[in-house]
Structure 1
Amino acid sequence: MDYLVTVWDAGGSVPPELALVRKLAERGHRVVVLAGPPLRKGVEAAGASFRAWREVPHRRSPQDPDPFSDADLSSPPQIIGRLVDRIIAGPSAVYAREVGAALDECGSDVLVSSMLMLGGMAAAEARGVPCAVTMPNCLALPARDIPPFGTPWLPARTPLGRLRDAAVNSMATKLWDRGLAPLNATRADLELPSLRHIHDQYTRVARILVLTSPAFDFPTELPANVRYVGPQLDDPVWVEPVELPPGDEPLVLVGMSSTFMNQGDLLRRVVAALDTLPVRGLVTTGPEIDPAEVPGTDRVHVVAAAPHREILPQCAAVVSHGGHGTVIKAAAAGVPQLVIPLGRDQLNNGARVVAAGIGLRLKPSAKPTTIAAGVRRLLDEPSFTQRARHLAGPIRGDAQSTAAVTELENLARPVDDHART
C-alpha cells in the first residue's frame, strides 16, 4: 500500500515517527515522507522516499533557525500562541495545499500526520483519505482523569482537583481556539464543515496513535479513534558510538533536549553535581549545544551524542529534561530517573515518573548540590530501581508490539465485513 507521512522537525518526536516509517517499509509498503531537508538522511535510512516541503515553514538545513523555537518564551499562553500562529492554524491553508498535492500525486492510501499539522489532516478529510495522527508522547488531549497538558500534576482525586483540571482545560481550549478562524477558513476552502474547537479536528481523523505504553501513562477512558500502540524506541540517525568513562563506578547517563531550550547552564550544573559523586557520568549535549560549552571532568565525559538505547542497560541512573523519548527508553531499560523539566510535555512526563515511583523530579533552577542529592537517592534507595525494573517488562512488551503497523495497514485495507461473512 502507499502511505504519505508528514513529519515535523521537532527533535524528540522525529525518531519514533521515523520508526513507524521504517516498520512500514520493512513490511513492503511504499512510503513517502514529507519533511524538511534536515530529515532527509533519516527518512532514506528508514527505507522511504523523501519529499521536501516547499511553501510550508521549515528548516532548509540544520544551521537554519527553527521557525517554531520556543526557547525565548516563558509562559504556556505564549507557547500555545506561537504554535497556533506558526503551525496549527496560521499556515493551515499552506499545509492543506502541500499535503493535498502530495496525496494526489502519490496516490496515497493513508495519510500519517504529525499531531500538529491540522491543515494536512483537513486535506486528507476532504479527499476521503484515511488519516492516522501520531502522538509521540503520552496522551496530550483533554481526557477524564488526565491532568491538563503542560502541568506537573497527578490525576485529580477530589471534586476540587477535578474542578481545577476542568478550569485549566477550559482556559487552554480558549487559547488554542484563537486559531479557529484561519483553520475554519482552510476547511471552508476544502468544502468541509466548520469546527467548534481546534481540537475537534482530532475527532475527524480515523486514528490517533499514542506512541507510548499505557503502563506508563495515566489511565483514562479513550475516545473511539484513539489507540495506544506502544513506544517506538529507535535512536536518531545522528547518534554515534562512544567510549564509556573507564572504571567500575555506577554509570549515570545525562541527556537534555535535542532542540534548543537554553539547556547549556543546566548541563554544566549536572556535570558539577556528578563530579562530586562516586559515579561515572556520560553527558550527551545533543545537536543544538556544542560539547565545548559544557566542560567535562575525569569522571564525567561530555559528548555530542551517543546511542542511548544501547547504553541504558549499563546505567544505574538517568538524568534528563523529561522528554518522552528519553524517559520511555530509560523506563523500558528499568533504569531510575531524575527528571528536570524545561517545558512542553516534560512536566507531564515527570509527573508520571514520580507517580510510578521510578524516579524524582527537580526544578530547572536546581543547584548542583540538589541535583547530586537526587542522584544519590536514586542510587542508594533500592525501591527506585526495583519499581523501574518491574515497570520495564510491560513497556518493553508494548515496544515489541506490531499494533502500530497493524492499525495503519487496517486503514489502508479496511475489512469488508460482508465479504468476510
Structure 2
Amino acid sequence: MAERLGHGGARFLLAMIDGGGTVPPALGLAAELVRRGHQVRVLADPTIEASARSAGCAFSPWRDAPHVNSRAEQTALIAAMEGRNPLRAFRAVKDYAGKDMTRRFAGDVVATIREFPVDAVLADPLPGILIGAQSTGLPTAALLAQIYLRPTPGLPLMGTGWSPGPGVLRRARDTLAPRAVSWLVGRTLPRLNAVVASYGQPPLHDVFELFDRCTKVLVMTSPSFDFVAPRLPANVRYVGPQLDDPAWAAAEWHSQGTDPLVLVATSSIFQHQVGLLQRIARALGQLPVRGLMTTGTAVDPDEIEAPPNVEVVQAAPHSRILTEASVVITHAGHGTMIKALAAGVPLVCIPMGRDQKDNTVRALQHGSCVRLSAKSTPDKIAAAVADLLDDPHYAAAARRFADILAQEAATMPSAADEAEAMVRG
C-alpha cells in the first residue's frame, strides 16, 4: 500500500468511463471523500474532466484505452452503436473498442498508479479496469452505479424489465436466463485470461469472478429499491444512492407561478430522445401545469418546440426543483428516478432502453409510478400526468419510499464509509 497522506487523509484513484448516468454517483462519492480530507484522482474520458475538478479531484485522461474527447464525439458514437444499421453499429463498436481493449484499460490503470501512487482504487466494473486495479495489489472497490447487475440465478436478468413473481415458469426463467448469459459471457474468458496472465494473476474461471476478487462491490442504490437476491457474495455492499446534482446542472432556477410543477428529465447523454421530448412538451401544453424540461448535455433546448407553459433548458438543479415538483416525467434512468423518490415525488416512467425497464419495474412494486411506452402519444402522456396529479395514492407511495431512503441513509454505511474502511486495514 502506498504511503498515506498527512492529517489522516488517504489517496484514491477513481477509474471510470463516461457512461452518462453512471458518472454523477461516482463523482458524488469522490466529492464526499474530498470533503472528508482525502485526495482523489479521477482517471476517465476528457469529457469528465471539468466535473471531476469541480468535485475537488485531480484528473488524468485515458491515454491508450478507448475514450471520447468531446460530447459531440460521444453523441455520434452512441447514435451509431444504438442505431438501426447493424453494420454501422458493428463498425462503431470496433472503432471504439479496437484491438486489445481490455489490455489497454488495464495498462492505463497500472501506469497511472505508478505515476500517482494511491492507497485504494474505486473502479467502474469494466474487466480491463478491474484487472489493472487488482494487479497492483491495492484494495479495490467495484462501483455499480445503479441496481445489482451481476447475472444471479433467482433474480430477473438486468436489461429485460422482468419482475420476479410466483409460478414455475417465472422461477425457471429467472434460474436459466442468468446461467445462459453467464455462459455466453464466459466465451470471452480466453481473451480475458491472456490479459490476467500478463499481469501475473491466476486465471479466471468465470468473468464475474473479477467482482469476487475485489475487496468490495459497492451497489450505489437502496436495497429496498432493488429486488432481493437469493444470495449475495460476502463482499457486496448496498450503500444507498448518491443524490448530488452533477456540476453541469448547477444553473440557477427560480420558481414562477402556482400551477403544479412537472419536471421532465430524460437521458443526460444521447438516446434518440428529441422525438419523445417533443411529445412530452405537447402533452404538458394540454394541462394546467408548469413544465420544466431539462434536455441534458446531448440535446440543444432550441430543438424542442415548447408551449407557453413549458420552459426548456439544458440543465437545472433537480435537487432544488424536486422540493416543489408534483410529478416527474423521466426515461427512468436510475439517477433521476431515485432522486425523485427520495424527494417523495411520483413518476411517469417512459423507458427507452439500457437499464430503464429494470428501474421502472422496481418503482412499480412500490406503487410510486406509472409506465408508458416510448411511443406514447401526447394524449396518453397528458392522461398519465393528470392521473398522478388527481390520485393521491401515487404521491403517498412516493413519500413512504422517501421515508425508507431517509431511514437507510441514517443507519447504513455510505459508499464513502466503505471506501474509507478499505484503507484503514
Same fold (TM > 0.5): yes
Does the CA-based 8 Å contact 1:245-1:299 persist in structure 2?
no
For residues 99 and 217 of structure 2, what CA distance do their matches in structure 1 show?
Answer: 19
- From 54, 58, 72, the equivalent of 2:67 is 58
For residues 72 and 151 of structure 2, what CA distance do their matches in structure 1 show?
Answer: 36
State the 1:168 CA deviation.
2.3
Query: Are residues 252 and 80 of structure 1, via their aligned partners in 2, closer, same or farther at CA, if it must alter by over 3 Å?
Result: farther
- From 51, 55, 58, the equivalent of 1:42 is 51
AA aligned opposite 1:334:
G
Q: Which residue of 2 aligns with 1:417?
A: none
AA aligned opposite 1:389:
R
AA aligned opposite 2:162:
W
Secondary structure at 1:257 match in 2: coil
Work out whether 1:130 is the aligned partner of 2:139. Answer: yes
Does the CA-based 8 Å contact 1:88-1:118 persist in structure 2?
no
For residues 94 and 203 of structure 2, what CA distance do their matches in structure 1 show?
Answer: 17
AA aligned opposite 1:168:
A
Percent identity of the aligned residues?
A: 39
Q: Which residue of 2 aligns with 1:102?
A: 112
For residues 172 and 84 of structure 1, what CA distance do their matches in structure 2 show?
Answer: 22
Residues 197-212 of structure 1: pairs in structure 2 closer than 5 A: 197-212=206-221
- From 359, 377, 385, the equivalent of 1:349 is 359
Work out whether 1:408 is the aligned partner of 2:409. Answer: no
Secondary structure at 2:155 match in 1: coil
Q: Which residue of 2 aligns with 1:192?
A: 201
State the 1:383 CA deviation.
0.7
Which piece of structure 1 moves more, 340-349 or 23-32? 23-32
- From 84, 99, 102, the equivalent of 1:92 is 102
Q: Which residue of 2 aligns with 1:419?
A: none
For residues 365 and 316 of structure 1, what CA distance do their matches in structure 2 show?
Answer: 24
Residues 354-393 of structure 1: pairs in structure 2 closer than 5 A: 354-393=364-403
Work out whether 1:278 is the aligned partner of 2:269. Answer: no
Secondary structure at 2:257 match in 1: coil
- From 301, 307, 314, the equivalent of 1:297 is 307
For residues 135 and 71 of structure 1, what CA distance do their matches in structure 2 show?
Answer: 25
Secondary structure at 1:65 match in 2: helix
State the 1:170 CA deviation.
2.8
Secondary structure at 1:12 match in 2: coil
Query: Are residues 346 and 90 of structure 1, via their aligned partners in 2, closer, same or farther at CA, if it must alter by over 3 Å?
Result: farther
Residues 142-291 of structure 1: pairs in structure 2 closer than 5 A: 142-220=151-229, 221-243=231-253, 246-291=256-301
Secondary structure at 1:372 match in 2: helix
1:223-282 deviation per Cα after TM superposition (whole angstroms, max 9, x unaligned): 111001110011111114354573211100000001111000000011111111111111
Which piece of structure 1 moves more, 27-36 or 56-65? 56-65
For residues 106 and 170 of structure 2, what CA distance do their matches in structure 1 show?
Answer: 39
Q: Which residue of 2 aligns with 1:25?
A: 34
User: Cα RMSD over matched residues?
Assistant: 2.5
Query: Are residues 263 and 66 of structure 1, via their aligned partners in 2, closer, same or farther at CA, if it must alter by over 3 Å?
Result: closer
Q: Alignment length, in residue pairs?
A: 412
State the 1:71 CA deviation.
6.0
For residues 98 and 187 of structure 2, what CA distance do their matches in structure 1 show?
Answer: 11
For residues 99 and 394 of structure 2, what CA distance do their matches in structure 1 show?
Answer: 43
Query: Are residues 135 and 71 of structure 1, via their aligned partners in 2, closer, same or farther at CA, if it must alter by over 3 Å?
Result: farther
Show structure 1 runs of 4+ deviating over 6 A: 77-85
AA aligned opposite 1:7:
M
Which piece of structure 1 moves more, 148-157 or 255-264? 148-157
For residues 251 and 65 of structure 1, what CA distance do their matches in structure 2 show?
Answer: 32
1:83-115 deviation per Cα after TM superposition (whole angstroms, max 9, x unaligned): 899569951101111101112222211110012
AA aligned opposite 2:393:
S
Q: Which residue of 2 aligns with 1:418?
A: none
For residues 205 and 197 of structure 1, what CA distance do their matches in structure 2 show?
Answer: 14
Does the CA-based 8 Å contact 1:58-1:66 persist in structure 2?
no
Does the CA-based 8 Å contact 1:84-1:176 persist in structure 2?
no
Q: TM-score, normalised by structure 1?
A: 0.92
Query: Are residues 133 and 84 of structure 1, via their aligned partners in 2, closer, same or farther at CA, if it must alter by over 3 Å?
Result: farther
Does the CA-based 8 Å contact 2:152-2:178 persist in structure 1?
no
Does the CA-based 8 Å contact 2:329-2:349 persist in structure 1?
yes
Structure 2 portions without partners, runs of 5+: 1-9
Query: Are residues 88 and 203 of structure 1, via their aligned partners in 2, closer, same or farther at CA, if it must alter by over 3 Å?
Result: farther
Query: Are residues 29 and 42 of structure 1, via their aligned partners in 2, closer, same or farther at CA, if it must alter by over 3 Å?
Result: same
Does the CA-based 8 Å contact 1:358-1:385 persist in structure 2?
yes
For residues 349 and 128 of structure 2, what CA distance do their matches in structure 1 show?
Answer: 34
For residues 412 and 141 of structure 1, what CA distance do their matches in structure 2 show?
Answer: 26
For residues 103 and 197 of structure 1, what CA distance do their matches in structure 2 show?
Answer: 26
Structure 1 portions without partners, runs of 5+: 415-421
Query: Are residues 67 and 169 of structure 1, via their aligned partners in 2, closer, same or farther at CA, if it must alter by over 3 Å?
Result: farther
State the 1:402 CA deviation.
4.9
